[in-house]
Structure 1
Amino acid sequence: MALEDAQTQADLAFTRNDPRGLAFENAFGGATSFLRRRYTKDLAGVDLAITGIPFDQAVTNRPGTRLGPRAIREASTLQPYDPPYGWGFDPLSEFAVVDYGDMPFDYARTPAFPQAVTDHITRILDSGAASITLGGDHYISFPILRAYAAKFGPLSLIQFDAHSDTWPDDDFGRIDHGTMFYKAIKEGLIDPARSVQVGIRTTNPDTMGVHTIDAREVHESTPAAIAQKIKGIVGNARAYLTFDIDALDPAFAPGTGTPVWGGLASWQAAAILRDLAGINLLGGDVVEVSPPFDAGGATAVAGAHVAMEILCLWAWTRRKPG
């Protein structure tokens, strides 16, 4: 959308007719849909839906990630003026991307929450669209993966995180953001042989067969080499990418519930994600952004950029020739 067109309309989140195109509205005003996409519950003709799941009742330390989707959306309004740097194409102009809004749920009925998430993502997938989810704590990835695996079969998981989240927990009724990938592997949602965790720097001896690239290996290598290693593990398998913002060092992302020193720098994460272009990515999420601990908003800015990179990775293999 041209600048002069934008100046004659207000709040493209409501007035945009074409879901494709960049946005030239003031970053400091208007409705803060993700990347200034149109807010809609109509998924007809939509390629990818951004949705928020504002849930943080599974945390083991500091809460606040229920406010993450709102903060990531606000931070994202700085981005849609230009095509994303370094990609050589504009996914917002080539694909129909909308903001599907936040998932509604009854916060006082926690046991019903997992199925509500699975149903929410299933509705998106059944429409023919893919999803990128803004969290919320990391537990949400488990019921999301249930929806994806029901449609596509077991997936390769690419997980950026300080923690493995595979601590043993055979009580599937428990809602815990540190055990959900243990359960996902046990349920057969994830193929561990084709899955990889990046940035790990906490101890969990049982990897459950998932490949680990810890933070020290990232620091002692190069982003290009790390991306190539990830691609070698995942191959052509259908993949889902989950990015826990605590994969970044607290110096770059202080606004999170379980910060761990020694993590990835923003430039490392950006370069690795960009060099993953070509993987068969079906969807992804960004989780654990906790605005109450995010002085200056740096964590939300990082989360918004990660979500854009996931969008670019998804779009890369779906572009039409030429």
Structure 2
Amino acid sequence: MQLPRATTSTACLRAFVETARWQSFTRAAETLCLTQSAVSKQVQLLEQQVGVRLLRRAPQGLSLTPAGSAYLAHASEALATLAEGEARARQLAGSEEAGGSVELSASPAFAAHWLIPLLPQFVAVAPSTRLLLRPRLPDFTPATERFDLEIRLGRGRWPDAQATYLLGREMALVASPKLLAGRSIRRAEDLSGLPLLQRAQRGYGWDEWAESAAPDWDRSQSPELLFEGFSVLIPAVIAGCGLAVCPLFLVLDALERGELVRPLGECVTGSSAYYAVIAAGAGRNSAREQLLEWLLSQAQATSDRVARLLAA
């Protein structure tokens, strides 16, 4: 007679998920406040219970097997579902207020120039939600990191993920009024010789903007300055260091305050934008859904402000 397979424990699942996340027993042990040996044994026990090898152990480090990659999505969803159920049970028993936790990643510029100024409103509507905001550059998020919700910059198509458009399709040339003082600006050629500020990452590039707004402009005589991201590029534009192509929502406050102007008055629809992204296989998370709904409402309000700016 075949004996029933042992039930997988949540401790084993957590040990596997954290080990897969960090690809390290040591880092997983630090996260779980356990010893490295304990985490390794729990993962081994899980492999015995599942009946397949989930991790490759090699001198250069750990990696997921194909079976481990497939199992990881289900393990993560199972843990998330259990956490949601536990929180709901405590809420119904009166031992805990409604709430939850959300781990959110966003670029420093998106966080500083748009999200953080609005966060007091989210805290007001969801006071019991624990929000952990982690800044990550769009092109440099390690593949092993997993977040409940990510704000990504791109074209809205990522494998194994669901993306919802937020903001950023509208981009324009912006500059400080003091940089343009004494110049009569009627066309792009009138800007020749001024420094051009460029992001190091993909998206919102001069070539894409010029193709639509100034196809005949010769920029070869203008010096170029390279910046790591909008978090440092936007302050440089405001300081008068040069011209830049920016998504309008990130510089909307500066435009409304008069710190920046659109010398040509144009608006170009770019190929890149900011999206709220949830990894495929992510478990249910009511706090994440509440945050996403709030983000979408705030994005719509900002889009309305951008439309009013362009109509003025």
Higher relative contact order (CA 8 A, sep 6+): 2
Structure number with higher helix proportion: 2
Structure number with higher strand proportion: 2
The TM tier, using the shorter chain, reads: under 0.3
Larger Rg: 2
TM-score by length of 2: 0.25
